[in-house]
Amino acid sequence: MNKMTVRDIDASGKKVLVRVDFNVPLDEKTGEITDDSRIRANLPTIKHLIARGAKVVLLSHLGRPKGKVVDTLRLAVAARRLAQLLGQPVGMATDCIGPEVEKQVDSLTSRDVLLLENLRFHADEEAGEASFARALARLGDIFVNDAFGTSHRAHASIVGITRHLPAVAGLLLEKEVDTLGGILENPAHPFVSMLGGAKISDKIALLANIMGKVDALLIGGGMAATFLKASSCEVGLSLVEDDMLSTVARLLEEAKKERTRLLLPVDVMVADELDGQAETGVVPVGSIPGNQRIVDMGPQTLSHFSQELRGSRTVFWNGPVGVYEIPQFARGTQEMARLVAGLNAATIIGGGSTADVVNEMGLTDDMTFVSTGGGASLEFLSGETLPGVAALRDKSS
């Protein structure tokens, strides 16, 4: 990565603002964190700054409060968990801007850590409001972006703040950019990408950008229905993005030109309802009943995908290959996760719901890299410039 990082700055005694992504899932009943992997992902940067005597001030959002204070989305729960992981106290600010917060920050001593309250309690954060960015910048001497998962957004705490402070990358952001960039620029072949999820529209740019770089594309999940219909298969009640059919047809032709093996399901599990109690069956893709919908891959498809993956040296996976939220329809995704975890290959998981699957199954440590950015990783691999990365100082400066 050609951006400056925390390794390039003198943080001793400085107030260092670190944008992290503590947007962790919470239990609806207890309000406790159900998966702390996003907090753990930022630990290397936080520990690096503590070890160098910085006064560490953390900025994050949680959920979608839409510019209002929502008590269930306060970040105190994240501060408590971070304190446990660091083995030292973590202060919790009353807000993220204002005179009281400035006093709290000014009272910090070297190696102290303070977490500011939810940025999105202020509508100006997502609006990228310049005055809000200036108010945040008044709290620090240096800005570090370690929130790759939000770096595709031009929010005040991601881009606006860089106009007022020296801005560098954290260790997580650096690893994200280097890892994802590496599979585009110099992957070990055979390079296989497995894509699932509900919609093809979310991944069109990604597909177009990687088409000539991958050796094989495996298409599953809800988006497979649009590919199947574009290939003249009837898909019953399955969700189809009809406005994408001509685009998908062009992608199928492009795959042939690029000699990319594009594998679609050959058999699928179908159900009449998206319900765990629904009756299911497995049928060839040419025999999907008109009153049923695709909910998972079938055993023959599972075998075909597995064979392709076993021959790979690089794998990028984004998107469940079935309706993973319903246990009855989760087998294909779970089998794929176990298979990918056991491969002798570089295995990169593209964040979002795919990362959630891997984390829930306890397979994170068996993957080469699990991205913290769903939308950000898709945009990055689509060849787009992420505003939060572009705003950081170049190494040449």
Other C-beta atoms within 10 Å of 46: how many? Answer: 27
Q: Which helix (H) or strand (E) holds 125?
A: helix 123-127
Q: Do the Cβ atoms of 144 and 172 come closer than 8 Å?
A: no
Q: What angle do CA 180, 264, 363 make, to 5 degrees?
A: 45
Known catalytic residue at 13 = no
Residue given tokens 């992981």 in the structure block: 85
Known catalytic residue at 374 = no
What are the E-state strand segments in 24-136?
Answer: 55-59, 91-92, 113-115
Q: Which among 352, 373, 374, 388 is annotated as catalytic?
A: 352
Rounded-to-integer distance, Cα 5 and Cα 45, Å: 10
Known catalytic residue at 212 = no
Q: Which among 38, 55, 153, 213 is annotated as catalytic?
A: 38
Known catalytic residue at 375 = yes
Question: Which residues are bridge partners to 114 per DSSP?
Answer: 57, 91
The answer for residues whose C-beta is within 8 angstroms of residue 20's C-beta and 6 or more apart is 39, 42, 45, 46, 58, 59, 60, 146, 147, 170
Output the DSSP codes for 292-347: -EEEEE-HHHHHHHHHHHHT-SEEEEES-SS-TTSGGG-HHHHHHHHHHHT-SSEE
Q: Which helix (H) or strand (E) holds 18?
A: strand 15-19
Residue given tokens 């881009």 in the structure block: 159
Q: How big, in percent rounded to 5, are the helix, strand and coil portions of the chain? A: 40, 15, 45
Output the DSSP codes for 350-382: -SHHHHHHHHHTT-GGGSSEE-S-HHHHHHHHT
Enumerate the active-site residues.
Answer: 38, 199, 352, 375
